[in-house]
Chain A
């Protein structure tokens, strides 16, 4: 197990490097010049050149790349191209909001999705299964921001149960939690749909296996056949895909943060984009890349935990 963990941790390095490379390339290789974009189409050529020089965009690409990597590894996120404020501070302020949102949503998605999917599988082709299948397909089709908007209208405006807007005060647990519920539910429900669908089909695959029939034949209670015998091996594909959904969740968190006017990386990033602040945009993407790598690592480790074959290998 220790070897597996070490191996997975080492494997994050190339993944992180490749994602960093994408971030680097997207900003530089695609047509469109950050300096011209920042200054507008009518800026003088001199002004654009001066800004390009200041941003180091006139240097050869490999040199820029090495400098970019060195900055990231030193933890230097640079300063904003628009107002020269340190980007690190901005991120330190926004990151906790995004972190609590994605973790809460992941929790909702997994704790709701797996039992729902398992229940659908045991009720196959009966009413609960059919309702669940329709609901999960709707969940798969609804954009997160639209679901958020409907929740704001229903729970925040009509019922007035919860605050609908803002991120709350992070130093006060109660306040930040009430502000977290609706956005976390939004993202979590979108994820629940995918988890439930997969949990259902994974369970159906397992339930027809011989060993499940054997367990039933031995007279084991159905409850324990499902939870102790079938679910254990059905969990393997579910956990394997949780990483993919977690990554998708990060994308949807951007629009969710916008709908709920929550502070967070998404708001920071979109703000930077609309102001054409490429340095802030790039640094926010680096933090997102860390997120992606982190989520993949956690799923890999969880995978090792649920799959006895990996545990046994050591």
Chain B
């Protein structure tokens, strides 16, 4: 009992979590970075708009109305109506839910798998390391959109399949970064010290190595969420993933291209939604990188 407690104390000492003043300084850097604050604001706003889409949407996103075919924006339908007379604005709001769910879930999946792969590879070394990292190299050698496309073509349509396909694409970049960070961290003195006082492999990885790369991982999560949303939009633009009539930004643009000349609002507005969302997460990622990695700050 006592031994366990003292081991815990040592862990607390050896772990280098940011102190209060360090945290304060990070916050100041972040707030001082206007682009990052704009990114955070946009991301929060878009998330809220999507969560409350059922309350905010003025129309049923699926309700068809033959008389309102391809009507341009007016007071009632602020962003116009599509080829089935459906309200474009309501559809954009609902589509945001799909994009954000896919973005976060696939990053969660790919990030967890990738982080574990990188951690284990970097920590264990040897044959396992070269096997895992070689697999990562091969997966990263192929254009992610093409890989996602093929995987989805084989898996078939469905929300969980899109998440699986994009998650698969996202794990290699996480594995690569975490692998690199693990390699340098495991040689650090505080890790040797923890090992010297008897910490096991799992304990070392979980309490000493992983917490010290949270910064890198947070940046990756933000940047790759942006990427995941972009890839999802491309896939549904191609016609894969979520089946109609469920609106996604990508399939709205796809349907809109047939009427590009006489009803440009069908594709221009959903595209704007994609652009703003991806931009928000990219801005946030850039800002976080400045905060969490002062070496890169410029």
Query: Are A and B co-members of a single complex?
Result: yes
Stretch at the interface among A55-63, A71-79, A249-257: A249-257
B49 at interface by CB-CB < 8 Å: no
Interface residues of A in 237-263 (CB under 8 A from B): 247-248, 250-252, 254-255, 258-259
A22 at the interface (CB under 8 A from B): yes
From B141, B153, B238, B279, contact of A138 by CB (8 A): B279
- Contacting pair B151 A255 (CB below 8 A): no
Taking the complex as formed, is B29 at the interface, i.e. its CB lies under 8 A from any CB of chain A?
no
Distance of A254 Cα from B298 Cα, bound (Å): 35
- Cα–Cα distance between A272 and B158 once the two chains are bound (Å): 20
Contact assessment for A250 and B257 in the assembled complex, using a CB-CB cutoff below 8 Å? no
Given A153-B268, A157-B260, A259-B257, A137:B141 Cβ within 8 A: no
Known pairs A137-B286, A141-B230, A141-B279; A19 contacts B142 (CB<8 A) = yes
Q: Say if the beta carbon of B212 comes within 8 Å of chain A.
A: no
Tell whether, in the assembled complex, residue A201 and residue B147 are in contact, meaning their CB atoms are under 8 Å apart. Answer: no
**CB of A145 within 8 A of chain B?**
yes
Of the residues A141, A247, A254, contact of B278 by C-beta under 8 Å: A141
Query: What total of A-B pairs shows CB separation below 8 Å?
Result: 133
| A219 beta carbon closer than 8 Å to chain B | no
Docked pose: A258 CA to B275 CA in angstroms: 19
* Nearest CB of A to B79, in Å: 16
Give the bracket for the number of chain B residues in contact with chain A. Answer: 35 or more
Asked whether any CB of chain A lies closer than 8 Å to the CB of B144, the reply is yes
Q: How far is the CB of A39 from chain B (nearest CB, A)?
A: 14
- Give the A-binding residues of B (Cβ under 8 A): 35, 134, 138-139, 141-147, 149-151, 153-156, 226, 230, 233-234, 237-240, 253, 257, 260-261, 264, 267-268, 271, 274-275, 278-279, 282-283, 286, 298
Q: What are 18 A-B pairs at a CB distance below 8 A?
A: A19-B141, A21-B138, A37-B156, A138-B275, A138-B279, A141-B275, A141-B278, A141-B279, A145-B234, A145-B237, A153-B268, A204-B298, A248-B143, A248-B145, A251-B145, A269-B146, A273-B149, A292-B142
A interface residues, Cβ below 8 angstroms from B: 15, 18-19, 21-23, 26-27, 30-32, 34, 37, 133-134, 137-138, 140-146, 149-150, 152-153, 157, 201, 204, 247-248, 250-252, 254-255, 258-259, 269-270, 273-274, 276, 281, 285, 288-289, 292, 296
